[in-house]
Amino acid sequence: MIDGGADLHIHSCYSDGLYTPLQIIQLAIEKGIRAISISDHDTVQGVEETLDLASQMDIMAIPATEISAIVGNSEVHILGYHFDWRNAQLNKRLDWLCQERERRVYQMVQSLAEIGIDIHPDDVFSIAGKGSTGRLHMAMAIIKKGYATKITEVFKKYIGYGKPGFVPKVGISPEEAIDLIVMAGGIPVYAHPAISKMDQCILQWKGKGLAGLEVYHSSQSGQVSRFYEQLALKYHLCITGGSDFHGMNENHRSIGMVRLPYKYVERINQIKAEKG
Ligand SMILES: [Zn+2]
Ligand SMILES: [Zn+2]
């Protein structure tokens, strides 16, 4: 294959994805993808395993994570690439974020109990397994108990913003997320900007070290991607992209359904090389 492109936004079982890094790499190879990143939420647990497997299986893997930051009532996701995943300060902060995720599960369980939805925290933690826990795991637990049949339904009825089981997330600011990635020698990228809708902050974040925009994403149409491509060029930010695959068929996302042209992978590799 001349240019199988890259998928730099994939979730594994180390957060709320269903597949192991090995299964993800096998799928990516089947689809002719040249480079991947597993960007699990608020954790770097799967990074080493992914890099080891990728080097054995002859596919490029770039270390990644997706940090959840909070602005008011909204979430902003900051992707980090090519950073030192062993960095102690970064790990300390990610551990704290994961503890907050667990605390949120207990609060959600309480709120849900008040409307007669009986979930035990362990129902959620057993689904999350070794990964960072999230609302998706809560949704699966609710479905398992027979209170709903689809994940979208759970969010609409119970745990989406403003619903009875919704508990606001406590987290760090986008500036701190950017800072953590920069401090660990990496490249911070604003994830799926069309979802977060905070274009007015991009230049300010760039001042803090933001280096890229996720131009290609399964929730962003061709027209939207072209808009962010222009913005990235205007602001001198690098361009990334990926499917945001979680392993379920929800939203019909699959690995490689969004292909980042390989020249952009070369560009972020070059930025890393220049940083030393
Ligand atoms: Zn995200
Ligand atoms: Zn994601």
Distance of CA 121 to the CA centre of its chain: 23
Whether residues 264 and 183 fall in one domain: yes
Structure-block tokens of residue 30:
């089947």
Whether residues 79 and 100 fall in one domain: no
Ligand 2 centre to CA of 242 (Å) is 9
Q: Are strands 187-190 and 60-61 parallel, antiparallel or unpaired?
A: unpaired
Q: pTM of whole model > 0.85?
A: yes
Whether residues 180 and 79 fall in one domain: yes
Ligand 2 centre to CA of 207 (Å) is 24
Label residue 1 by pLDDT band (50, 70, 90): very low
Instruction: Report the CATH number that the domain containing residue 58 is assigned in CATH.
Output: 3.20.20.140
Q: Integer distance in angstroms from the first to the last C-alpha of the chain?
A: 30
Whether residues 183 and 235 fall in one domain: yes
**Type and span of the H or E element at 138:** helix 135-144
Q: How far apart are CA 210 and CA 187, in angstroms?
A: 7
Q: Tell me, yes or no, whether 232 lies in a domain.
A: yes
Domain range for 120 is: 93-159
According to DSSP, the residues that pair with 79 across neighbouring strands are 66, 189
Label residue 130 by pLDDT band (50, 70, 90): confident
**Of 113, 132, 159, which residue sits at a domain end?**
159
| pLDDT at site 250 | 58
pLDDT in tens, 55-83: 999 999 999 999 999 998 889 999 999 99
Q: How far apart are CA 175 and CA 184, in angstroms?
A: 14
User: How many CB atoms lie under 10 A from the CB of residue 218?
Assistant: 19
Whether residues 56 and 140 fall in one domain: no
Ligand 2 centre to CA of 118 (Å) is 29
pLDDT in tens, 193-247: 999 999 999 999 999 999 999 999 999 999 999 999 999 999 999 999 999 999 8
Q: Tell me, yes or no, whether 240 lies in a domain.
A: yes
Ligand 1 centre to CA of 71 (Å) is 14
Contacts of 219 (CB under 8 A, 6+ apart): 192, 194, 195, 244, 251
